[in-house]
A and B are shown apart, each in its own frame.
Chain A
Amino acid sequence: MSHQQDIKRIMHRRAFVGNALRVAGALGIGGAVAGLTVRKGEGRPWVWQIDPSKCIACGNCATHCVLDESAVKCTHSFGMCGYCDLCTGYFHPEPIALNSGAENQLCPTGAIRRTFVEDPYFEYTIDERLCIGCGKCVKGCNTFGNGSLFLQVRHDRCQHCNECSIAIACPSQAYRRVPADQPYLLKLREAKG
């Protein structure tokens, strides 16, 4: 009888030690992870964004997104735009005529709309439904114009992959994580000082 009681007591003690270790482990893991979360303050989500100052408009954004139609689209900072008649973001390097003929346009999908504002100014707006984020216009605008066209991850489309597959392919390491409450790195006229 006493032998059985001994066994019972030992088992009881083992269970107690086991439980204590488990609870300690759980608290340890929970505490460590919670500590990591609050260490930098908020534990807010991050999203991917392109730093336009590093972007070289190589065209990988159009082809490397996990979405068939890339989440990256051209964005226009109208305040920076020179409203040129001959927009090098809009027109092919050697346009036959300065009109919206497809043969004159740089954009492969005709996603840029050119509207007359006043002489000699034209306004260029991006039709996001057509834009594929190839960056051809961005390259043109950066090379000869003000650089008011730039690529951005459009967050209404982005899937927020843990590792952005465009970021892997980006040759200029222009992708970085930004806090989700400031999800854009816009080019602004004021920002350039």
Chain B
Amino acid sequence: MSRPCPLSGHRPKVGREKARVRVCRGGPRRRSGTPCLTSAAPSVHNRVRHGVLDLRIAIALLALWTLLSLPALAVERFPPPDFSNHQLPVTTVPPPQFAANPYVDVALLALALALASYLAIRRRSRRGLFLLTIASLVWFGFIRHGCICPVGSIQNVTLAIFDRAYAVPWAVAAFFALPILFTLFFGRTFCASVCPLGAVQELVALWPVKVPAWVDHSLGLLSYVYLGLGVLFSATGTAFLICRYDPFVGFFRLAASANMLIFGACFLVVGAFIGRPYCRYLCPYGALLRLVSRFSKWHVKIPPDECIRCRLCEDVCPYGAIREPTVATAVTERRRGRRRLAVLIGLAPLWIALGFWLGTRLEVPLSELHPTIRLADRIRQEQTGRVQGTIDASDAFRNTGRAPADLYRQALALSAMFRTAGGWFGAWVGLVVAAKLIHLSIRRQRNDYQPDRSGCVSCGRCFWYCPVEQAKQGWIQEVPGTGPLFGENSLPAEQAAGRKMDLSP
């Protein structure tokens, strides 16, 4: 059976009586019966015989094809026909469908923040906060698929600072700024019941255990490191790391790679025992809010009146954010503490310098994430014969016709940029470590149980369990006991048990 020409669609019809003339408008006119001329499909090509003329045309076409097959050029091998009575269909271009209008998005965020702040600080309603948490999870999580979110917006803002061509959309900018502004005045009410990532962990915090303080403090540094990495990679235009490794967005979309789903599931399983592991130890926006929340004006307070030191709040806080009253220390110890503080402050520049130096060493592993550097690496390996075969990326690069030397130059420039950026990242980590050590060495005086302003997410459990609060709300007759956990009169344990069952509204 005769084979059609893949170039022209022309099919030799040998031995047919009423052979029609088919015109391939890009190539020479041929009559049917002439063997089809192909240059680009060897399997077909081999089966037909060529005349000398055809061969010459074949060579010419082959040259033309090689020239024109660069993907950057649109090739018009077959000039489009001019139809007399056929209307060309129109290529449809459906406009972007955003699940919600940006005005609605921002308005809802502001409303949720205001409501959360009102419920946490004014109404002091754990139930209200809990309901708002679920509402936020449904809207910002499952309906809006967790995008846009303030956590990821850090990267957009960073990219806008460093990339002249990119302007952060105003809605994203609002998502970045609004929670920070609210935190500056009301504490982390955003984390309490607006953030969908926090909400999903809030709901699974079922059997929280107390994390030892040193583990809590050390792991807490991770979020600052992650923040540094997120800023580094978005500033260099490499990647949006925070979005890429968002553990819960896969659940919100009900679609993700298996690895990310397992990653997210791990966080949920761990989250049943360690309250909000992502918020406490990884969330970069949480790290920002922790800094800001330290200076918040109206932060959640536990007892509305005098603290009876029942420690119920400390017991019930799943996030280890309640700080106990301080005990008086001896003068000698205070003096020693002061000396330690002075040493640590003096050492801070050293930490930062050390971090900077170590950061510049990180040039290679950090730059590995950049696609251009990866490509340059691959091309280099292929050219020196260190790896066999090619990959899509290297094929695509060769098709562009760019000289590898050009790519190497670009990669080297990027690499130098990563060296500097790595230095700054290291300095940031050094600063964080130094600040943590200094912060731990500052002695504070507390007379009653208070939430740690940076660690507290204003979930409201502490005052919900507080007997003083309960007496004030009229849920119980009077404040039981007066000392810390006294004997049989310490009703709170029973109370707590009763409340625990009530917790889910």
Contacts and interface: CB of A to CB of B under 8 A. Distances in A.
Interface of A: 18-19, 21-22, 25-26, 29-30, 33-34, 36-37, 39-47, 53-56, 58, 60, 66-68, 75-88, 91, 93-95, 98, 117-121, 123, 125, 142-147, 154-163, 165, 168, 171-173, 177, 180, 183-184, 186-187, 189, 191-192
A68 B255 contact: yes
A58 to B, nearest CB: 5
A162 B169 contact: no
Contacts of B69: 142-143
Nearest to A76: B91
B305 interface: no
Given A43-B170, A84-B9, A155-B97, A171 B396 contact: yes
A162 B145 CA distance: 11
- Most chain-B Cβ atoms within 10 A of its Cβ — which of A46, A68, A144? A144
Given A43-B170, A159-B145, A160-B147, A82 B396 contact: no
Contact of B239 (A40, A87, A163): A163
A82 B243 contact: no
15 contacts: A33-B173, A43-B170, A44-B167, A55-B71, A56-B396, A58-B396, A78-B90, A98-B4, A146-B74, A146-B77, A162-B240, A168-B244, A171-B391, A172-B396, A172-B397
B53 interface: no
B81 interface: yes
B26 A36 contact: no
A171 B295 CA distance: 46
B493 interface: no
A95 B93 CA distance: 32
Contacts of B74: 53, 80, 146-147, 187, 191-192
A30 to B, nearest CB: 6
Contact of B5 (A30, A86, A125): A86
B91 A75 contact: yes
Interface residues of B, number: 87
Contact of A36 (B148, B152, B157, B392): B157
Contact of A26 (B76, B174, B181, B371): B181
Contact of B78 (A39, A145, A163, A192): A145
Interface stretch (B36-44, B334-342, B381-389): B36-44
B94 A156 contact: yes
Shortest Cβ-Cβ A-B pairs, 3 listed: A82-B78, A85-B9, A40-B167
Interface in B322-372: 371-372
A52 B469 CA distance: 64
Nearest to A44: B169
B41 A172 contact: no
B399 to A, nearest CB: 7
Contacts of B90: 78
B399 A33 contact: no
Contacts of B219: none
B409 interface: no
Interface in B141-190: 145, 147-148, 152, 155-157, 160-161, 165-174, 176-177, 180-181, 184-185
- Dominant secondary structure of chain A at its interface with chain B: loop
A146 B76 contact: yes
Given A29-B184, A78-B91, 8 more contacts: A45-B102, A75-B91, A84-B8, A143-B40, A159-B253, A163-B155, A183-B93, A189-B80
B89 A29 contact: no
Given A85-B9, A159-B147, A180 B96 contact: yes
A83 B81 contact: yes
B256 A37 contact: no
Interface of B: 3-11, 20, 22-23, 25-26, 40-41, 43-44, 69, 71-81, 83, 86, 88-91, 93-98, 102, 145, 147-148, 152, 155-157, 160-161, 165-174, 176-177, 180-181, 184-185, 239-240, 243-244, 253, 255-256, 292, 295, 297, 371-372, 391-393, 395-397, 399
Contacts of B4: 85-86, 95, 98
B96 A158 contact: yes
Contact of B41 (A75, A85, A93, A165): A93
Contact of B20 (A77, A88, A94, A119): A119
Contacts of B7: 86, 144
B168 A36 contact: yes
A160 B173 contact: no
A42 B177 contact: no
A188 to B, nearest CB: 9
Nearest to B5: A86
A25 B40 CA distance: 66
Contacts of B5: 86
A21 B297 CA distance: 11
Contact of A162 (B9, B72, B156, B397): B156
B243 A162 contact: yes
Given A45-B102, A55-B71, A66 B253 contact: yes
B177 A29 contact: yes
Contacts of A60: 392
Contacts of B86: 117-118, 123
A56 B297 contact: no
A45 B89 contact: no
A19 B296 CA distance: 10
B157 A53 contact: no
A187 to B, nearest CB: 6
B98 A88 contact: no
A78 B88 contact: yes
B184 A26 contact: yes
Contacts of A40: 165-167
